[in-house]
Amino acid sequence: MTSLRGAAAIVGVADDASPSGVLDLHGRALEAAMIREALDDAGLTIADVDGICYAGQGAGMGSLGLAEFLGIRPRYTDSTMTGGSSYEVYAEHAAAAIAAGLCDVVICVYASTPQGDRARAKARGGQGGGRRPMMMGGPNPNAEWEMPHGLRQPMGSYALAASRHMAMYGTTPEQLAHIAVSTRKWATLNPKARFQDPITIDDVLSSKMMSSPLHLLDCCLVTDGAGAFVMTSADRAKSLRKAPVYVLGAATCHDHSMISQMPDLATTAGAVSGPAAFAQAGVKPGDVDVLMGYDSFTITQLLHFEDLGFCAKGEGGAFVESTDTGPGGTLPTNTNGGGLSYTHPGMYGMFLLVEAVRQLRGEAGARQVDGCEVAVAHGSGGVLSCMSTTVLGTEAVLS
């Protein structure tokens, strides 16, 4: 076995977010709701589940606590933590585990409610939110070598990448703003999106400067959100409720943890994971009908266009000026409205997969891309640290 192509399929998905930015449920209740909805979508029940992927909430042992809560005894478990790209990594690992016969039905869930948590903490009389402890014991290079300088995180790290890209290739703030404007166009078609009013390039450039050269509207949201997916073998997928969405290719690469240690601030590890996943899938960038790229910041998506091969290195700025990535465009990108305008609860990678599946099934409503056969979910975790690419496709592509 040398390839994952067609061995496993996503058969159930769910996600939730709200224009208010706040969800009613939180914690295990929200996770359980997403799991149930994704299993219903697949026509499966919790009794079918024998694998679990879960990044955990706060301290604790990730998947152990969730599996205990759900009353399941999984024989495949994964609590790999690569930040926002964890969900693409889980898709890759789950497909490999299913292909190897380690398990049959894998559930993966994510829920995070930073807005609701703040309100609940305030209602309890606390300060709200609360800062995470800087030192958790053990080595912490970040505390020793970066934090003292007061770089705003995470946006400052991405600002440094944008600075480098601009210096190397002449990329402009206007070009980055194109990405925010185009993504917002998609959000106008998503009734669950946090922001649904169109914006202009001037709106982006006149929004508050956060960490130069990134403005407020170059930055993702902070909202409540949750999602889940269910994956099973290609054989079993055929008998389930919805048309299977096959994993055609998957690959991951990470090249640093702290931004100062990134080998080239203008090139991500997606330049490794992307081509590897595309080769496994047997597709080229030109075959991609929908691109779901983790848009934590506008610069992040610009780097994805280059590193995945949609344009050459350094040409991302010109590419976003000349390519329509919005509704009706030639490269529909972040069709749910993205982390920039739909939702961003902290680790957004789950929503990339859910939207890709909906597009491939023809379930995306007003934002449906006609004839969608190949979709890519490209996750980014840490501070441009871990890139994981999942290429998904319909039965038509597989055969």
Task: Out of 62, 156, 337, 349, name the contact with other proteins by CB under 8 A.
Answer: 156
| Minimal distance, residue 397 CB to other proteins, in Å | 40
Q: Is residue 205 within the footprint of other proteins (CB under 8 A)?
A: no
| Minimal distance, residue 210 CB to other proteins, in Å | 6
d(CA 152, CA 96): 37
Q: Which of residues 208-227 bind other proteins (CB under 8 A)?
A: 208-214
Query: How many residues contact other proteins, by CB under 8 A?
Result: 37
| Minimal distance, residue 217 CB to other proteins, in Å | 14
Q: Is residue 242 within the footprint of other proteins (CB under 8 A)?
A: no
| Minimal distance, residue 66 CB to other proteins, in Å | 32
Q: Is 232 exposed, middle or buried (0-12, 13-18, 19+ CB in 10 A)?
A: buried
| Minimal distance, residue 116 CB to other proteins, in Å | 24
d(CA 105, CA 98): 8
Task: Out of 1, 59, 123, 134, name the contact with other proteins by CB under 8 A.
Answer: 134
Q: Cα angle at 257 between 255 and 84, to 5 degrees?
A: 90
Residue type, 31: E
Q: Is 300 exposed, middle or buried (0-12, 13-18, 19+ CB in 10 A)?
A: buried
d(CA 242, CA 220): 32
Contact 108, 231 (CB under 8 A): yes
Q: Which residue is associated with the tokens 């508050």? A: 208
For 227, the enclosing helix (H) or strand (E) is strand 225-233
Q: Is residue 258 within the footprint of other proteins (CB under 8 A)?
A: yes
Task: Out of 1, 136, 149, 370, name the contact with other proteins by CB under 8 A.
Answer: 149
Task: Out of 151, 205, 222, 398, name the contact with other proteins by CB under 8 A.
Answer: 151
Binding site residues, other proteins, CB under 8 A: 134-135, 139-141, 143-153, 156, 159-164, 166-167, 208-214, 258-261, 265
